[in-house]
Amino acid sequence: MFFLFPGSCLGMQDHEAPPRSIKKMKTKFKIRRFDPQKDQAPRFQEYELEVPQGATLLDCVNLIKWTQDGTLSYRMSCRSAICGSCAMKVNGHARLACKTQAKDVIKNNLVVLEPLGNMTVIKDLAVDLEPFWEKVEKVMPWLVNDEEVSPGVERLQSPEDFHKIDAASTCIMCASCFSDCCSEEVDKEYLGPTALAKAQRFVCDSRDKKQFERISKLSKEKGIWDCTHCGECSQRCPTDAKPLERIVELRNVALNSGVLNNNGARHAKAFVDSIAKSGRLNENELPVKSMGFFNIKGLLEILPVGIRMLIRGKNPPLIHHSIEDMDQVKKIFREFGEPK
């Protein structure tokens, strides 16, 4: 079983064995295999390959399939880091196989390949991307503009306005960030970094007419405030999309637009207010202010956590120890202004 996108044109002549004069590196490839028709659980299978000099990781996987095991399944298409099809886990983290030089991931003559995380495996390295695409669709990844224009007339945008969405426009939807997202791992309802990066591309588009409606929806539970700032998404992104930075930009839009009636916005405001006033973070007040003083249901939900912390001696001290250079922290707020 071999997955190709329509329009792919691959020929064996492109992958003929290189001349003997080219240096090769003998490497073991440990690939996770799973065939739902045969296997009860995933298993690892090892292959040995003489890796040609200059070969990409995708070149190596292709050689294994074409010369050793035709049953190996995975996705690929453009081989040019444009389509995003060949993303897979390499030594534990998501990478784009066609953009990865084999020599850069060979450790002690070994490479471990696994399917992307946070998705159901269809077969071997091929995963079910339907839930991923459904989340992208939820953020309405298209321009909304009800202004009538004459046929053939463009909606112009200044270079400065385009710069605001330039990074997000480089996303190739490879799902590498989605694969390694910690929030996605524990909460399958979370929109995920790909969808949120795509959302930023339209929320910050000067031609779109639904910014407030978009950011209000994204500020609800399972949206922009559920990111834990682990940074895995930006580290795994093979382009310049940097999803974590796009999520931070969406949060700034939400705060500046007055979309504040949610735990995330209250948490951010309480965090800044606390440091601005005293130069330190009051961790005893933060949970209450984040949940909302009049949110009785929410406060009751976090009460058991507070009691467990108190019993185990994990609660923050009521009186903090003195901290050096506190004046420097306060100076930042004097310099840039008190938070509104």
Q: Could you tell me the pLDDT band of residue 288, with boundaries at 50, 70 and 90?
A: confident
Report the top-level CATH class of 24-127.
Answer: alpha beta
pLDDT on residue 99? 97
pLDDT on residue 298? 76
State the CB neighbour count (10 A cutoff) for residue 68.
12
> DSSP code of 94?
E
* Paired tokens of 104: 């850069």
Q: What is the layout of strands, in order, in the sheet containing 93-96?
A: 43-52, 24-33, 110-114, 87-90, 93-96
Overall residue count recorded for the chain in this entry: 340
> DSSP code of 125?
T
Q: What is the pLDDT of residues 27-81, one digit of tens each?
A: 999 999 999 999 999 999 999 999 999 999 999 999 999 999 999 999 999 999 9
pLDDT on residue 120? 96
Please, where in the chain does CATH 1.10.1060.10 lie? 130-145+158-256
58: left (phi over 0), alpha (psi -120 to 50) or beta: alpha
Q: What is the pLDDT of residues 317-329, one digit of tens each?
A: 777 666 677 778 7
Contact between residue 229 and residue 244 where contact means Cβ atoms under 8 Å apart: yes
Please, where in the chain does CATH 3.10.20.30 lie? 24-127
Q: What are phi and psi of 47, to 5 degrees?
A: -130, 145
- H-run or E-run covering 334: helix 326-336
Q: In angstroms, rounded to a whole number, what is the distance separating the alpha carbons of residues 109 and 15?
A: 22
Q: What is the pLDDT of residues 94-133, one digit of tens each?
A: 999 999 999 999 999 999 999 999 999 999 999 999 999 9
pLDDT on residue 322? 66
Q: In angstroms, rounded to a whole number, what is the distance separating the alpha carbons of residues 259 and 135?
A: 22
Q: Which residue has the higher pLDDT, 194 or 337?
A: 194
Q: In angstroms, rounded to a whole number, what is the distance separating the alpha carbons of residues 14 and 27?
A: 22
Q: In angstroms, rounded to a whole number, what is the distance separating the alpha carbons of residues 315 and 178?
A: 34
For the chain, the first-to-last Cα distance in angstroms comes to: 58
State the CB neighbour count (10 A cutoff) for residue 270.
19
Place of tokens 């956590």: 305
Q: What percent of the chain has pLDDT over 70?
A: 91
Q: What is the pLDDT of residues 169-195, one digit of tens each?
A: 999 999 999 999 999 999 999 999 999
Amino acid identity of residue 7, one-letter, is G
Q: What is the pLDDT of residues 240-260, one digit of tens each?
A: 999 999 999 999 999 999 999
Closest to 15 measured CA to CA, from 47, 54, 48 = 54
Q: What is the mean predicted confidence (pLDDT) over 234-244?
A: 96
Q: In angstroms, rounded to a whole number, what is the distance separating the alpha carbons of residues 59 and 79?
A: 9
Candidate CATH numbers 3.40.50.720, 1.10.3720.10, 3.40.50.300, 1.10.1060.10; the one for domain 130-145+158-256: 1.10.1060.10
